[in-house]
Amino acid sequence: MRVLTINPGSSSLKLSLLDPDGTLLAEESGPGGAVASLVAGLPRPDAVGIRFVHGGTAFTEPSVVDEKVRRRLRDLADLAPLHQPASLRALEEATQALPDIPIVACFDTAFHATLPEAAATYALPAAWRERFGLRRYGFHGLSFSYAARRAGELLGGVPPRMLICHLGSGASLCAVADGVSVDTTMGFTPLEGLVMGTRPGSIDPGIPMWLIKHGMAPPDIERGLERESGLRGLTGTPDMREIRKRAEARDVPALAALDVYHHRLRACAAAMAASLGGLDALVFTGGVGEHDTAVRERLGADLAFLGVRVDTARNAAASGDTDITAPGAAARTLVIRAREDLEIATGVRRALA
């Protein structure tokens, strides 16, 4: 089965066409809303898989899209306002461009359906939790699922206690025990956890309430949290590469932003390791995780007390899927290229089997 995967970002699209053994036959990328024009340049697929950030409690497996599924997906849109509307738009465009091809929705939240209740439950009134489904869902599950499986291939078996760091414009960590998600840093929405490109990560929940009491409108607060916070709020840019350049020139806001970023990253990584009871492997993936040697070096040093040691030369030369573990380290450290397209294609075939 030849599968076309569609990975919508908040303002961009990436399409990949994969043959049955996972070989990449063709790929296209472009702005949001360009599914029809991008599909026109690709060979015809047998099935389509679309990444959806939020599946709520309704979707814990890839799901063939019908009208009932479409309605439920629309109901989840306000939980991931940067991403879900883009996926819904891609779904409509793919349906129009390929009307007789089955479409499967694949969910970032699904990998975290295994979270134990202690990790998934917010200490909120029961009436709120039951009425609104308030719980920790977790995200980046397609990336985590692929990275866990790929780490097992590289190491000759999935490590019992693995911390996966998906670091990009959006960022989260996942504690993986024997291949299963047991804790993660994102929660009800993709705002919780690490400092990100435009999102603040975890903040005091009293801050939005205080701002509302002092005259700010909820839509303005939402926009600020989704699009104007994180690294952008600290430096004016969400681009880690630009911040690195400024830091090398001893720009004070850039240096301070990196300290804030790493303070939260170190604390969250240690918390994930505590959920696992130790660490056998540390995995970096995502745009920053794959390409920023300094982030890997600094977190490796921060986690030295857990047996992590990064080899400086291997780290500097890392390209693609690479082992950057220093000799004698108790925990292995890997860099794994993010391949959500392969995970989506696997989900499509499973759903249509």
- Rounded to whole angstroms, the Cα distance separating 279 from 308 reads 8
In the three-class reduction of DSSP (H, G, I as helix; E, B as strand; rest coil), residue 315 is classed as helix
- Dist CA 240 CA 256 (whole Å): 13
Which residue, 172, 168, 176, 173, is CA-closest to 152? 176
Quickly count: other Cβ atoms within 10 Å of residue 214's Cβ: 7
Residue 61 has, within 13 A of its CA and on its CB side, a CA count of: 6
> How many whole angstroms separate alpha carbon 342 and alpha carbon 5?
8
Residues 6+ apart with CB under 8 A from 308: 279, 282, 299, 300, 329, 330, 331, 333
Q: Which of 108, 183, 311, 341 is catalytic?
A: 108
Looking at the DSSP assignment, which residues form a beta bridge with residue 175? Answer: 163, 183
Q: Are strands 63-64 and 161-167 parallel, antiparallel or unpaired?
A: unpaired
Catalytic residue list contains 220: no
Q: Which amino acid is at 63?
A: S
Instruction: Give the active site residues.
Output: 108
